[in-house]
Amino acid sequence: MPQSLSRLIVHIVFSTKSRVPVLNESIRHELYPYLAGALRNLECAAIKIGGAADHVHLLCLLSKNLALARLVEKLKTGSSKWLKTRGPHLHSFHWQNGYGGFSVSASQLEEVSRYIEQQQEHHRKISFQDEYRKLLDKYGVPYDERFVWD
């Protein structure tokens, strides 16, 4: 086969270090376009980006030329450096060490997109930790609670 073709939809989730709620509304308003641009530069089309004060959700198409771990590394490194320039309260900003990556079928694209869109309302009822546990359980990802949080 002379050409490599793929359409891999991924839902990526990661939080701020120790889930510190520093991503206020004005920062998120700038951060999401920054992340969309970073995804575009990595040949990964952003579908939906959202989150709350302590974490982000990214729904995107994964480039056929990039492993998920490398994509997340590049997104977190670049956005962390960028966030540190956004004000004195962010000079020591860090993302958590890990991330969650979940495959999304084309038939679930709209549902996951709406879920990400409604993060602000969603987190009035549930913490990030509980949401993340539910995602891990939903996708059948085994985990040890001792090593999930940093």
**Alpha helices of the chain — where are they, by DSSP H?**
25-41, 68-83, 109-117, 119-122, 128-138
Residue-range domain boundaries for the chain: 8-141
CATH class of the domain comprising 8-141: alpha beta
φ/ψ of residue 36, rounded to 5 = -60, -40
* pLDDT value, residue 1: 59
pTM of the model: 0.94
| pLDDT (tens digit per residue) in 53-104 | 999 999 999 999 999 999 999 999 999 999 999 999 999 999 999 999 999 9
Looking up tokens 């974490």 gives 55
| pLDDT (tens digit per residue) in 25-56 | 999 999 999 999 999 999 999 999 999 999 99
Looking up tokens 């038939």 gives 107
